[in-house]
Chain A
Amino acid sequence: MQVDQPITAAGGKTKAKAANPFRKLMKYHALWILALPGILLLLINNYLPMFGIFLAFKSLNFSKGIWGSDWVGFDNFKFLFTTNDIWRIIANTVLYNLAFIAINTGLSVLLALLLNEVKNKVLSKFVQSSMLLPHFISMVVVAYLVFGFLNPDLGFINKSILEPSGQEAVSWYMSPKYWPYILIIVNSWKSVGFGSIIYLATIIGIDKEYYEAAMIDGAGKWKQMTKITVPFLIPIMIILTLLSIGRIFNADFGLFYQVTMNSGMLKDVTEVIDTYVYNALLVSGDTDLASSAGLLQSVIGFILVVSVNLLVKRISSDKALF
């Protein structure tokens, strides 16, 4: 605080302003009004639900109402962890996400590097469009596409591949052992095109002079790729990977719910936190389990996002989220 500051005209003005916060607020009332709808929407969608986290410490009873329900402390969490399910569900969520991150990053970078070698403009545009299309399709439609292949009675794989080659048809939606592969393939199919476009944009942004200098020094295609392109991609690879690690406790609900057709037979290998919370809440009506699992997910997610952001900031301060 500048206590000793002489009272000048300017100083007096600041003082008057500080003394009247209402005027400061009113001076920009038009901006407040423009921001207001957004502020209210965030309040409804994001902030009010945050107050709901205390529900995880209550035994919710709709006849007593949300406020009237009894406090049970950490009992919901104790119960959640005695169900044994939760460990399997957490493992599923984290392991699928790790597999998705590793495979999608690898494939996206590979596709971007190769796509950069396609000199034909028309071919390049066509490939980019067709790779991006899956990204724009809802998971419901993806479930239809998968069903086209896996429908046990009429699907393409059973009817056109397995039967003609004399093998027995597979009841896909009742055979858990195939699903880790199916889910990984479907996820890659849907998201690799999108990822490779981001990497391609980075490659296109690399200054051409590096390549010209390298060519003068006699570097071939392979050398140029490993010594120039890949090093330029590594920072953005690290950052995108870190950001997805920040979301490792959140599963793609659509993928695990729609594509598996919510088949109970597959639960051991397809149930993730998000589908568990949904089923507990709206199918079995077990709000206590839903709220404790939901809070667990929110809190760990928060810790992950914040720590990942610190890491990103260390690597490259302008890439950090905040």
Chain B
Amino acid sequence: MKNSNRTNPFIILFFIVVSLASLLPFWLILMVSLTGQNALVKYGYSFWPKDFDLAAYRFLWHDAEPILRAYGVSIVVTVVGTIVSLFVTSALAYTLSRSEFPFRGALSFYVLFTMLFGGGLLPWYLVYTKFLHLQDTLPALIIPGLLGGFNVFIMRTYFTTSIPPSLVDSAQIDGANEYRTYFSIVLPLSLPVLATIGLFVIVSYWNDWFTSLVFISNDRLYNLQYFLYNTLMNAQYLQAVASKAHIDSTSDRILPLEQLQMAMAMIAVLPVAMVFPFLQKYFVKGLTVGAVKG
């Protein structure tokens, strides 16, 4: 055997450095969120807490109603958005995958063209605000992310390559109509691609702040990322939020601002960091499908 089964130690060392570089920024933020306010002011942010303190997380647990609401908005938008998105995307892709459908060329182009040309931010903004009047509503956070041309094509490719047309034919000969074929035969056989696209969509809804930035001015509808954006860009914002939350004003409890900021960033990362290692294999599969052919 010329190809030894042992890895060159320099390569191991190199990848330890790469992994550290990827993870250390998160570690820094986690440690800041666990360091007491006085130690932070004195020593600045560091990779090991000089004075371990859970005040920020206690505050988030008990007092932070606006922050929890923002979390709730993010969860609702992500769950509803992902379910509807998977349905709409797969239904359109299914139609495009049926070779008998006479308008499939035209409809494919209708989808494709949206990937080539866009009207830009201003007209898009006007359609949502002046035409549909959706500003400051939850649908404004959900509708823009529901359908992407690229996802439609990935699903169509999956349907045409992985589901034998004879299966669809025999189902229809047995009397199943299109809806039944789609719901009881095609979708159950398509779990891998649904998981892949679902993951893409979950991540993009969870991480979205731009639609909030553009459409939302009512602070009851802020999602988590937009809430984080506000507290980072505007240090007083958190103070104002905290005083609105029922903090016991008679006690001289100081609000651990920096610590709290970083604790919020951590709770935004947490769900993604916990979920993605388990779904990574789907994601990698999806990436390769996407890279090889849209």
Instruction: Enumerate chain A interface residues (CB-CB to B < 8 A).
Output: 24, 28, 30-32, 34-35, 37-39, 41-42, 44-53, 55, 66, 111, 114-115, 117-120, 123, 126-134, 136-141, 143-149, 151, 153-156, 158-160, 163, 189, 193-194, 197-198, 201, 211, 215, 236, 240, 253-254, 258, 261-262, 274, 277-278, 281-282, 287, 290-291, 294-295, 297-298, 301-302, 305-306, 318-319, 321-322
Are B120 and A131 in touch, CB under 8 angstroms?
A: no
In chain A, what residue has the closest Cβ to B234? A261
**Are A278 and B121 also in contact (CB < 8 A) when A136-B276, A262-B233 are?**
yes
Q: Are B127 and A290 in contact (CB under 8 A)?
A: no
Apart from A41-B147, A129-B276, list 4 A-B contacts with CB within 8 A. A38-B111, A48-B119, A132-B283, A197-B284
Residues of chain B within 8 A of A215, CB atoms compared:
2-3
Assess whether B191 is interfacial by the CB under 8 Å rule.
Answer: no
Contacting residue for A144 out of B107, B210, B228, CB 8 A: B228
What's the minimum C-beta distance from A238 to chain B, rounded to whole angstroms? Answer: 13
> Is there an interface contact between B132 and A298, defined as CB atoms closer than 8 Å?
no
Please report which residues of chain B, range 142-181, place their CB below 8 angstroms from some CB of chain A when the two chains form the complex.
143-144, 146-147, 149, 152, 177-179
Residue pairs across A and B with Cβ atoms less than 8 A apart, 23 shown, are A35-B95, A45-B124, A47-B114, A49-B123, A49-B124, A52-B119, A52-B123, A52-B127, A127-B15, A128-B284, A136-B207, A138-B207, A138-B208, A140-B209, A145-B29, A147-B232, A154-B45, A156-B28, A158-B44, A197-B287, A201-B287, A282-B214, A294-B120
**CA distance in complex: A189, B96 (Å):** 38
What chain B residues lie within 8 Å of A134 (beta carbons)? 22
Chain B's nearest CB lies how many Å from the CB of A57?
A: 13
- Report how far A156 CA is from B284 CA in the complex, Å: 34
- Residue on A nearest B8 in the bound complex, by CB: A117
Contact, CB under 8 Å: A144 / B179: no
**Given contacts A123-B15, A127-B15, A198-B291, is CB(A35)–CB(B8) below 8 Å?**
no
| Choice from A66, A136, A146, A154 contacting B258 with Cβ under 8 Å | A154
A191 and B96 CA atoms in complex are apart in Å by: 32
Interface of B is mostly: helix
Residue in chain B with minimal CB distance to A322: B112
> A75 to B222, alpha carbons, bound, how many Å?
38
Expressed in whole angstroms, the Cα–Cα distance for A203 and B96 within the complex equals 32
**Which residues of B, 83-110, contact A by the 8 Å Cβ criterion?**
87-89, 91-92, 94-96, 98, 100-103, 107, 110
* Interface SS of A by simple majority: helix
Q: Please, which residues of chain B bring their CB within 8 A of the CB of A111? A: 18
Are A38 and B88 CB-contacts (below 8 A) given A111-B18, A156-B45, A298-B120? yes
Report which residue of A32, A144, A145 has the largest number of chain B beta carbons within 10 angstroms of its beta carbon.
Answer: A144
Q: How far is the CA of A49 from the CA of B128 in the complex (A)?
A: 10
B253 within 8 A of A: no
Q: With a CB–CB cut-off of 8 A, which chain B residues contact A155?
A: 44-45
How distant is the Cα of A48 from the Cα of B89 in the complex, in angstroms? 19
Q: B residues bordering A, Cβ < 8 Å?
A: 2-3, 5-8, 11-12, 14-15, 18-19, 21-23, 25-26, 28-29, 32, 40-41, 43-47, 87-89, 91-92, 94-96, 98, 100-103, 107, 110-127, 130-132, 143-144, 146-147, 149, 152, 177-179, 182, 203, 206-210, 214, 225-226, 228-229, 232-233, 258, 261-262, 265, 268-269, 272-273, 276-277, 280, 283-284, 287-288, 291-294
- Tell whether A44 pairs with B143 under 8 Å between CB atoms, given A137-B207, A149-B25: yes
A111 to B126 CA separation, bound complex (whole angstroms): 44
Alpha-carbon distance between A149 and B13 when the two chains are bound, in angstroms: 24
